[in-house]
Amino acid sequence: MQRIGVFICWCGSNIAATVDVEKVAEVIKNEPGVVFSTNYQYMCSENGQQLIKQAIKEHNLTGIVIGACSPRMHEATFRKAAEAAGLNPYMVEVANIREHCSWIHKDMEEATEKAVILVRTAIAKVKLNAPLTAGESPVIKRALVIGGGIAGIQAALDIADAGFEVDIVEKNSTIGGRMAQIDKTFPTLDCSACILTPKMVDCAQHEKIDILSYSEIEEVKGFVGNFSVKIRRKARYVDETKCTGCKLCMEKCPSKKGLNEFNMNLNTRTAIHIPFAQAIPNVAVIDASQCLKMKTGKCGICQKFCDVGAIDFEQKDTFIDRQYGAIVVATGFKPIDLDNFNEYGYHDNKDVVTSLELERLMNAAGPTNGVLLRPSDGKHPKVITFIQCVGSRDTSGCGKPYCSKICCMYTAKHAMLIREKYPDTEVHVFYIDVRTPGKNYDEFFRRAVEQYGVDYIKGMVGKVYNENGKLMVQGSNLIDNEQITIESDLVVLAAAIEPEPSVRKIATLLTTSIDTNNFLTESHAKLCPVESPTAGVFLAGVCQGPKDILETVSQASACAAKVIGLLVKDKLKSNPCVAMPDEMMCNGCSQCANVCAYGAISYVDKEFRLGGGKTEVRRVASVNPAVCQGCGACTVTCPSGAMDLKGFSSKQIMSEVEAICKM
Amino acid sequence: MQDVTTEKKEFTPTIVAFCCNWCSYAGADLAGSSRLTYPANVKIIRVPCSCRVNPMFVLKAFQQGADGVILCGCHPGDCHYVTGNYYTRRRMALLYSFLNYMGIEKERTRVEWVSAAEGARFAAVMNDFVKQVTDLGENKRLTDLRVKEGE
């Protein structure tokens, strides 16, 4: 006979304010099978757990139901408590009477009635629960970091320093990412390259780090502790092991008209190139769409001049397979396309630039060697107007609804640097709000205004148009309540940032969830901000949400700590809620194996007794519990109903349905 | 039997919602923590993946007197189990035609994709579905009368 205990949590007033918890506990007492029912302020507290443990022992309970917050929150807590009291942890069910009841309903009677039904449903399920034991799976002591920007670099260095092997997979020919493009960093005005490149070199020299540049993730299989990843090493047409980075090929290459992506297409580069001086690996790459030899078959000059014979026009993409215990996603961001913002005249005027383009225009290694010159005529701009929130905080559908978070600070930085270097320049900034929370951030912004005399104008810009070679910025000044037009030489747009588009494919490969803005979803917004909902996959940097370098580095180190915590374990407990066939019913038809995304199902020949001393050998399905992830696809596919899922059996779900409908 | 006219006035449908653990159940949690309301007659059953939902469960719900059944899973391409929701989609398409064949309004069942970040969407979908089922009225054709008598 089942002996069920029911524990209703108040969650302070979170549940108790709209659900009459005492009544729920009272009504449930009369349910068949229930021998104990109580309520308590905080079930998850030490005392609450003690109460559960005591009740399990005192009343000899065979199963318990906790009416509390979402099982995604505290199921593990209550399972542990049950285990400590000698009850199998899988004999615990949680009725979600907070997120799915008290928080969404206002009427007490209605919410109480619903809570009773939800608890009854959980009781119906727990009665059919079976004790389960978690299996164990080994941990491969190697981590994969996807993306070689500052997030990936930091995560890789931290993990490698703890003694674990790390591979960085970077789609570009060098690591460094966006931070390598930036001139100075706020709020210290440190030179970005000066603080980034030593870390890049550390990565290259670290014996535990393997940099796979110009590579992409092609396929991911497996699960936490045991991922199997196929990596495409794109043909760079230069032998990485031979190239010395002497750059002679770049001097000789006759095809010089390729747009320089590193300089935000503001100047050109040769077909064979190294993106920037401090590139890691310092190895050339050939742009096949631009190379004369590849396009016409005539040229090959680089090959002739390369002393070490590193050029290989015949190179093909290759694939490597590696195993990892954990994966860090650090794919970063890009500024949005400005196609939806014709009012700013970005596509029509060369002198309307984005902030990242300005960053290159001010960088000593940039197209103008660090001298701020207008792209159109190469003159010094005398009046510069910044426009903030271009596509950020935009609910019209043209841009992004979120705040890109970094623009206020980098605009203040740009304004300050320009006023510092060229004091005769007039600088205006149109803003909606200035948001500068962070250590020394607001002080930094105030310096721009008070010390450097940057003219901040509260208001939005309606139009930027060209009149006799001048850029006319037409906007409103909300403080003075007037329409103004500023005659400018250069207009800088603080374009919103969005996740690097390749993250979509990676999210699909890793089966992690992604939100409507293409940011990867963290496991819990407050308490698990670096874990993805998929075990063993961690998130660092802007792929998870807008953030500056400081936050990115913090998050990357947090990821590393989580990865190290995972990799030091020799074995992981696996989920015991896996599929299991009833061999007496299985006819070996293979349908379940066809739908299994993990290849967890194989077939074995088994001998069955037929009675009368006779036996029969039949082919039946066999599930590898270490590989099965417990989705249940096979259970529905099985035509004979032989396959079932532990913890979510057909009988359990049917009884839940019954409990809900029986009102 | 209850009086038909009064029954119509007070009719609140019983709705069973199957939500996958990774996206939709989390979406429902987010709707809750964001305090977004939807009618109390929606009761959620947690399943690991929408592909765990056997069409038999849907029929069982109708047999037991549910007025509407809704399945929620991750968006296509975002399934935690890679391909699970594609199976759901195909299975439910078959179930729709089966219901249609039996003369049952297919509007009583629905498949929706709700991600873990879409609490607002979860609430909106539930509000809409409850309204749709309320307009259809009570499920009389599929309820097993023996179930009712047994009460």
Q: What is the pLDDT of residues A24-51, one digit of tens each?
A: 999 999 999 999 999 999 999 999 999 9
Chain A touched by B44 (CB under 8 Å): yes
Q: What local confidence, expressed as pLDDT, does residue B103 receive?
A: 80
Q: Which among A517, A516, A519, A522 is positioned nearest to A506, based on CA atoms? A: A519
Q: Which pLDDT value is given to residue A116? A: 96
Q: Start-end ranges of CATH 3.30.70.3270 in chain A?
A: 579-646
**Two tokens, residue A150:** 């500052």
The alpha helices in A4-104, defined as continuous H runs, are: 21-28, 46-58, 71-84
Within 13 Å, how many C-alpha atoms sit on residue A482's CB side?
Answer: 4
pLDDT for the residue numbered A386: 98
The tens digit of pLDDT for each residue in A228-245 reads 999 999 999 999 999 999
Strands A268-269 and A258-259, by their bridges, are: antiparallel
The answer to whether the Cβ–Cβ distance between B80 and A657 falls below 8 Å is: no
pLDDT band with cut points at 50, 70 and 90 for residue B104? confident
How big is chain A, counted in residues? Answer: 663
Specify which residues A311 forms β-bridges with. Answer: A238
Q: Is the pLDDT of residue B8 over 60?
A: no
Strand A537-539 vs strand A326-329: parallel, antiparallel, or unpaired?
parallel
Instruction: Report the C-alpha gap between A251 and B103 in whole angstroms.
Output: 77
Residue identified by tokens 């103008």 is A368
**Whose CA is closest to A629, among A497, A543, A560, A533?**
A533
- Work out whether strand A426-431 and strand A455-458 pair parallel, antiparallel, or are unpaired: parallel
pLDDT at A215 over 90: yes
Instruction: Measure the CA–CA gap between A30 and A414, rounded to whole angstroms.
Output: 71
User: Which residue in the set A104, A117, A648 is minimally distant from B36, CB to CB?
Assistant: A104
A570 DSSP assignment: S
Q: Evaluate whether A466 touches A348 at the Cβ level (below 8 Å).
A: yes
Query: What is the DSSP secondary-structure string of A376-397?
Result: TT-PPPSEEEEEEEESSS--SS
Is A507–B78 a contact, with Cβ atoms under 8 angstroms apart? Answer: yes
Amino acid of residue A615:
T
Contact A51, A93 (CB under 8 A): no
> Using an 8 Å Cβ cutoff, are A223 and A536 in contact?
yes
What's domain A336-498's architecture?
Answer: 3-Layer(bba) Sandwich (3.50)
The angle formed by the CA atoms of residues B42, B47 and B53, to the nearest 5 degrees, is 90
Task: Find the helix or strand (DSSP H, E) in which A100 lies.
Answer: none
The total number of residues written for chain B in this structure:
151
pLDDT tens digits, residue range B35-89?
999 999 999 999 999 999 999 999 999 999 999 999 999 998 788 888 899 999 9
Identify whether the C-beta of residue A498 lies closer than 8 Å to the C-beta of residue A518. Answer: yes
Residue A91, Cβ neighbours under 10 Å: how many?
Answer: 22
Contacts of A67 in chain B (CB under 8 A): none
For B44, the closest of A100, A103, A630 (CB atoms) is A100
Is B23 close to A513, i.e. CB distance below 8 A? yes
Percent of chain A's residues with pLDDT above 70: 100
DSSP state of A450: I
| Cα torsion angle, A43, A46, A47, A50, sign | positive
Work out the number of other CB atoms within 10 angstroms of the CB of residue A485. Answer: 13
Of A600, A566, A560, nearest to A581 (Cα)?
A: A600
CA distance A391 to chain B (A): 21
Count of other CB atoms within 10 angstroms of residue B90? 11
> Is a pLDDT exceeding 70 seen at residue A586?
yes
Region A142-234+317-332+500-567: CATH code: 3.50.50.60
DSSP secondary structure letter of residue A405: S
* Single-letter amino acid code for the residue at B11: F
Question: What pLDDT is stored for residue A487 in this prediction?
Answer: 97
pLDDT at A146 over 60: yes
Cα(A197)–Cα(A205) distance, integer angstroms: 12
Of A114, A635, A645, the CB nearest to B40: A114
Is B47 an interface residue toward A (CB < 8 Å)?
yes
Q: How deeply is A343 buried, as exposed, middle or buried, from its count of CB atoms within 10 A (0-12, 13-18, 19+)?
A: middle
pLDDT of residue A663: 62
H or E, element range at A110: helix A108-126
The owner of tokens 């890049």 is A200
- pLDDT value for A197: 96
Among candidates A72, A629, A660 on the partner chain, residue whose Cβ is nearest the Cβ of B81: A629
Residue type, A285: V
Is pLDDT above 60 for B1? no
At residue B10, does pLDDT exceed 90?
no
Whether A627 has a pLDDT exceeding 90, the answer reads no
Question: Which long-range contacts does A372-381 make (Cβ < 8 Å, 24+ apart)?
Answer: A372/A418, A372/A421, A372/A422, A374/A350, A374/A489, A374/A490, A375/A266, A375/A350, A375/A351, A376/A349, A376/A350, A376/A351, A379/A489, A380/A422, A380/A425, A381/A351, A381/A425, A381/A488, A381/A489, A381/A490
Q: How many helices (H) and strands (E) does chain B have?
A: 6, 4
Residue A406 main-chain phi, psi, to 5 deg? -95, -15
Q: Is residue A569 helix, strand or coil? A: coil
Give A205's DSSP letter. H
- Compute the nearest-CA separation of A402 from chain B (Å): 14
A97: closest chain B residue by CA: B32
DSSP summary character for residue A445: H
Helix, strand, coil percent values for chain B (each to nearest 5): 50, 15, 35
* Count of alpha carbons within 13 angstroms of residue A633, beta-carbon side: 26
**The pair of three-digit structure tokens given for residue A454, joined into one six-digit string:** 């940057």
Residues of B in contact with A107 (CB under 8 A): 40
Number of structural domains chain B divides into: 1
Which pLDDT belongs to residue B148? 61
Among chain A residues, CA nearest to B21: A72
* Residue B9 confidence (pLDDT): 55
**Which range marks the domain in which residue B139 is found?**
4-149
Residue listed under structure tokens 């009427």: A107
**How far apart are alpha carbons A233 and A171 in whole angstroms?**
9
Q: Where in chain A is the domain with CATH 3.40.50?
A: 4-126
CATH fold for the domain made of A579-646: Alpha-Beta Plaits (3.30.70)
Find chain B residues with C-beta within 8 A of A533's C-beta: 22, 26, 80, 116
Residues of B in contact with A631 (CB under 8 A): 48-49, 51-52, 80-81, 84
DSSP assignment letter at A89: G
The pLDDT of residue A160 is above 50: yes
Q: Please report, for the domain that includes residue B139, its CATH number.
A: 3.40.50
Over pLDDT 90: what percentage of chain A?
91
User: Mean pLDDT, to the nearest integer, of A300-326?
Assistant: 96
pLDDT of residue B29: 95
The mean pLDDT of A150-154, rounded to a whole number, is: 98
Q: What is the ipTM of this complex?
A: 0.92
What is the CATH number that goes with domain A4-126? 3.40.50
Q: What is the DSSP string of A144-167?
A: EEE--SHHHHHHHHHHHHTT-EEE
Task: Give the residue among A627, A624, A634 at the shortest CA–CA distance from A603.
Answer: A624
Q: Where in chain A do CATH 3.50.50.60 domains reside? A: 142-234+317-332+500-567, 336-498
Distance of alpha carbon A507 from alpha carbon B77, whole angstroms: 9
CA distance A487 to A507: 45
List the structure tokens of A255.
Answer: 């095809």
- Residue listed under structure tokens 């417990």: A630
Closest CB to B77: pick one of A508, A630, A633. A508
pLDDT of residue A18: 95
Mean pLDDT of B82-111: 90
Q: What's the pLDDT at B7?
A: 46
Could you tell me which residues come within 8 angstroms of residue A398 by beta carbon, excluding any fewer than 6 positions away? A340, A341, A391
Distance CA A423, CA A429 (A): 16
Residue A494's nearest CA partner among A301, A298, A338 is A338
Q: Is the pLDDT of residue A561 over 50?
A: yes
CB burial readout A269-305, b (16+ within 10 A) else e: bbbbbbbbebbbbbbbbbbbebbebbeeeebebbbee
Task: Return all residues near A234 (Cβ < 8 A) that are at least 6 apart.
Answer: A214, A215, A216, A317
Least reliable range by pLDDT among A159-173, A330-344, A496-510, A615-629: A615-629
**Residues whose CB falls within 8 Å of the CB of residue A276, separated by 6 or more in sequence, listed in order:** A174, A176, A180, A262, A365
Residues of A in contact with B37 (CB under 8 A): 104-106
Mutate to test the interface with A, among B11, B16, B49 (most CBs of A within 10 A): B49
Quote the distance between the C-alpha of residue A443 and its chain's center: 31
Please tell me the predicted confidence (pLDDT) of residue B79: 87
Task: Say how far apart CA A87 and CA B133 lie, in whole Å.
Answer: 42
